[in-house]
Amino acid sequence: FFEDEISKVRRRELRLSFWNAMMKVINVACVFCVPPMTAFAIFINYEFNKDRLVSSVAFTTLSLFNILRFPLVVLPKALRAVSEAHASLQRLEAYLLEDAPTNNTGAGGSKNTVLPGVHIENAVFHHPSNPNWHLHVPRFDVRPGQVVAVVGRIGAGKSSLIQAILGNMIKEHGATQVGGRVSYVPQNP
């Protein structure tokens, strides 16, 4: 079952990577094809409608179109950087506007009374910024040193589960124990 879910996610990831590569190919083709084709169309139009094309006009025009090539290369990267910065600012703002967790549901419990690992049973959590949305965790156990993959659709609650383990969500009821050290490395947006 677990391998099937991972395979489905991997196939979807490969499909998205393929379309991402196709968009990059189209972008590079536009960067190198559009300036010469545009210059060619302008030169033909100039020749038929104006006067003879002289070298000073031709080389000045070619120079201008070569200068315009760089912004075409940088534009997709700049748009992606702006999108990532916007998403990062939203996450940072949401984090900074949250109240500090006061209950003992997350990492950092007493080392003497809590066994190492993560143990959650019949717990319900909600986020401070959205008390109407609930995360229901029937059972979740991670032993020390165990590697776990949390797989699911967008909006299924994967990040919320991590936030609950870290103590950044409010526990309404259920049993939660986080013993030892817990590390978290977020994904890139």
CA nearest neighbour of 107 among 50, 182, 32: 182
Three-state secondary structure call for residue 65: helix
pLDDT at 114: 62
* Element of type H or E holding 118: strand 117-127
State how far the Cα of 68 lies from the Cα of 71, in Å rounded to an integer. 6
pLDDT at 121: 93
State how far the Cα of 132 lies from the Cα of 110, in Å rounded to an integer. 30
pLDDT at 108: 44
User: Under 8 Å CB-to-CB from 11, ≥6 apart: which residues?
Assistant: none
- Write the pLDDT tens digit of every residue in 51-86: 788 888 889 988 888 888 888 788 888 888 898 888
pLDDT at 109: 45
| 75 compared with 106, residue with greater pLDDT | 75
pTM: 0.43
- Write the pLDDT tens digit of every residue in 131-172: 788 899 999 999 888 888 887 777 778 888 988 998 888 899
- Write the pLDDT tens digit of every residue in 5-53: 888 888 888 998 899 899 889 888 888 888 888 888 988 888 888 878 8
DSSP of 123-159: EEEEETTEEEEEEEEEEEEE-TT--------TTSSHH
pLDDT at 33: 85
State how far the Cα of 109 lies from the Cα of 104, in Å rounded to an integer. 6
Cα dist from 185 to 113, 146, 163, 166, whole Å: 27, 16, 12, 12
